[in-house]
Amino acid sequence: MAQNEAISPVEGAAVLEALFHQSPTGLMVLDTELRILRIKVDSPFLYEASPEQVTGRRVTDVYDFSAPGEVEAMLHGVLESGAPAQGRLVGVRPKGAPGPEYLFSVSACRLEEAQGRILGVLAEILDVTECEKVRARLRVLGSVRERVGETLDVVATCEELVQAVVPDLADIAVVEVVDAVVRGEEPPPSPLGREVPLRRAAFGRSGGEEQVQAHPVGDVRALPFPTPYAQTLTDLKPRLVALGPETPWLAAVPPRAEAIRASGAHSLITTPLTLRGSVLGLMSLYRTDPGEVYDQGDVTLAVAAAAHTALCIDNARRYTREHTIAMTIQRHLLLPQPATQTTVETAHMLVPSATGGGGGFDTFALSGGRTALVVGEVAGQGIHAATTLGQIGTATHSLAALDLEPDELLARLNDTAIRLAQERAALPPGDPMPLRGSCVYAVYDPLAQTCTVALAGHPPPVIAHPDGSTEIPHLPSGPPLGSTEGPPFAATTVSVVDGSVLAFYTPSLLTASQSPETLQRVLVHADRPLQDLCDDVLYRLRNDTRHGDVILLLARTHAFPADQVATWHLDPHPKSVATARTHTQHQLRHWGVDEEIAYTTEMIVSELVTNALRYGTPPVHLRLLRDRTLTCEVRDGNSLAPRLRHAKTVDEGGRGLFIVAQLAQNWGVRYSLDGKTVWAEQTLPPATSPHPQQRS
């Protein structure tokens, strides 16, 4: 037979008979009016009556299609154009029959005689309901894996789950989480106790209809018992439950029963959110569409979605716990209000980063009425950054107690940071970031009215003068803390008159869209209350993404009261010891200092002056400072440090500094280019202090 030779009518009839009796797919022959001429359906879903009973009826009169107009348009298109239609997905059920809709792949071609007369349409019908269910479930699972876990927030993760499963897997979805888990605490082991409260973290319903809920989102309560919800969290097994008016356990949960009846839910899946035997929460899925009923395939999908969500919730819980610990550590490291000294008023602004940065600030008193001002931050986030910040802060206080100059202090602080970095490198892998940090350390001297500043990879401060002018001093910056290379640290001394405002800040304060000039514009009116200035800066911050804590520390400087300081020049003669005691006695009597404190002070002055005259170099000066402490300072031209000795019984000397250390609350040595100053402090009672109340 030639390739293009037409088959005979007998052969054609044989082919058609073979197709109708042996083809694994359904077949339907329609005339030009779309009436059924012959039908073969292997799927039990399409049986409404015998083939003889449907013959001669229009196909749309026999079956309910999800889109009947589209089906008719497809078949008419095949009749008119002759172009076949391939694999059109059609939802169908028998006419008037209740139950779910099934999916079929329909392909159609035109039937015509050899002379060209159109006879009708041959439609091939293939049941793809289960295949499409599998594809739909895979799409839902892919959506869950893609969308759930984008944030490190427990409640947001639950909301992401609801958005991923509604409406494809559920018409209504409810996610409840153990309340302790939301706060970052360890989840309880299974089985979950009846008294353990759960928080309704997320709720969602398809169709944009009014949301009928048994309890509002955020409500915290234990699960009712006995119900499928409680049982699911007892044995950690999912439940597939048919809902109806006669469902017995609904009587135990009146609010949920009312919500189920109002929503029309008829099918429920409850799935535990568990991880390694610990209970995190519960996911409840409801179907309200009468044509959609849950089966075991849906349960399997719900279990897979719950497993992924439980892992994401636990990650968020761990982050919440670490973030809480880090913020607690940082809150204890940061003073609730910086210590305001007699000559320095302070105010601050702190905007913690969402990830828990490593920013910090501090102010503390130094010898000689001076005040240290510190702002800095360390790289990283969470507990690592908080603990590193604490280590750096402790080292700063320890070094400051040695009366080091700011540049030398930063150099020693950098050595400490390098050593901490080496210790961190020796830890097992997993530490997130190398130790790096920036810092500005400044010392304000109210007697000289100067501020000495040193920088370690940090922006310089902004200085606002009382006349309304502002400036950003040009200060050399050393390398960031933790660096082994870079220029040496340098200190610069700037003059600050009474009423000047110094603004120290972390780099996160100014984003790419801002500059230090923004801060300067606020500080033009430096006579305003410091807290108002801080608030003004906060209001001008743009809502940009910031990597790190935003810190602003403002300090208004004042000169040391002239009537609270006394200075004397002492001749290099042994009689100067008595002279110094006399000066001290008269000055303390003038200040109204308690006799016991005055007597102790005279002994301290006697020992310090004796040491200066015996071991030091002229000129020798004695200075008394009356603040919240009473400070005695003796300065001489010798840079050699005195040494505290524990003299033996037979020794005639060597007890001077030992006596001073016993009498004074604190003592130390401060060096300068022209010598050294040995100082000792005593605490004054509030009634004796000239400034019993801090400035506000």
Query: How many contiguous H segments (helices) and E segments (strands) does the chain have?
Result: 17, 28
- Residue 481: enclosing H or E segment and its boundaries? none
> Is the sign of the CA dihedral 646, 648, 650, 651 positive or negative?
negative
Give the model's pLDDT for residue 542: 66
| pLDDT tens-digit series, residues 630-639 | 999 999 998 8
What are the residues facing 64 on neighbouring strands? Answer: 93
Q: In what order do the strands lie in the sheet with 550-557?
A: 344-351, 550-557, 501-505, 462-464, 470-471
Reading the block at residue 332, the tokens are 């204890």
Distance CA 568, CA 579 (A): 10
Q: What is the pLDDT at residue 393? A: 86
Q: Tokens at residue 437, please?
A: 């940090």
Q: What is the pLDDT of residue 354?
A: 61
Q: Which residues of the chain have pLDDT under 50?
A: 1-3, 512-513, 647-653, 692-696
Q: Supply the pLDDT for residue 339.
A: 53
Q: Identity (one letter) of the amino acid at 227?
A: T
Domains of the chain by range and CATH? 9-127 (3.30.450.20), 133-323 (3.30.450.40), 338-557 (3.60.40.10), 562-683 (3.30.565.10)
SS (H, E, C) 79-115: HHHCCCEEEEEEEEEECCCCCCCEEEEEEEEEEECCC
d(CA 676, CA 669): 7
pLDDT of residue 626: 93
Beta bridge partners of 502: 463, 555
For 297-313, the DSSP string reads HHHHHHHHHHHHHHHHH
How confident is the model at residue 112, as a pLDDT?
83
Chain center to CA of 513 = 23
DSSP 645-671: ----TT-SS--HHHHHHHHSSEEEEEE
Contact, 140 vs 301, CB < 8 A? yes
Q: So what's the pLDDT on residue 306?
A: 95
Query: 3-state secondary structure string, 535-554?
Result: HHHHHHCCCCCCCCCEEEEE
Q: How confident is the model at residue 98, as a pLDDT?
A: 65
Cα(613)–Cα(601) distance, rounded to whole angstroms? 18
